[in-house]
């Protein structure tokens, strides 16, 4: 199945901003992000901690809706889904 994966800001600089990924059926949101991030050590370390868990500040979305880090482990993706990964948001 094809899933669009988008990384924003610093994550996009390290891992590429947009990509379409071929993923096996029953791939979780966490699995697809983990697999993409594993291609760059600094990118992986900015999203995941030493135990392989999402860092507290990582914002995850599936099809425009926020997904918690805990739910990402059990959120199965479907054909055509879009996953977005954001660093902390700051503004002023």
The contacts of residue 7 (CB under 8 Å, 6+ apart) are 14, 15, 16, 17, 18, 36, 43, 84, 85
Q: What pLDDT is recorded for position 90?
A: 57
For the segment 48-55, the average pLDDT, to the nearest whole number, is 95
* pLDDT above 60: residue 6: yes
- The domain defined by 2-86 folds into Ubiquitin-like (UB roll) (3.10.20)
70-75: list long-range contacts, CB under 8 Å, 24+ apart: 72/28, 72/29, 72/30, 72/33, 73/28, 73/29, 73/30, 74/28, 75/28, 75/29, 75/30
Enumerate the domain spans of the chain.
2-86
Q: What pLDDT is recorded for position 88?
A: 85
Q: Residues 13-49: pLDDT tens digits?
A: 999 999 999 999 999 999 999 999 999 999 999 999 9
Give the whole-angstrom CA distance, residue 77 versus residue 62. 9
Q: What pLDDT is recorded for position 70?
A: 93
Q: What pLDDT is recorded for position 92?
A: 54
């Amino acid at each position: 199945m094809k899933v669009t994966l988008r990384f924003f800001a610093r994550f996009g600089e390290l891992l590429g901003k947009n990509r379409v990924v071929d993923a096996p059926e029953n791939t979780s949101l966490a699995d697809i992000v983990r697999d993409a991030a594993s291609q760059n050590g600094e990118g992986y370390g900015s999203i995941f901690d030493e135990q392989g868990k999402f860092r507290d500040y990582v914002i995850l979305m599936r099809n425009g809706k926020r997904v918690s880090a805990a739910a990402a482990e059990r959120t199965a993706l479907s054909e055509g889904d879009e996953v977005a990964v954001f660093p902390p948001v700051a503004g002023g």
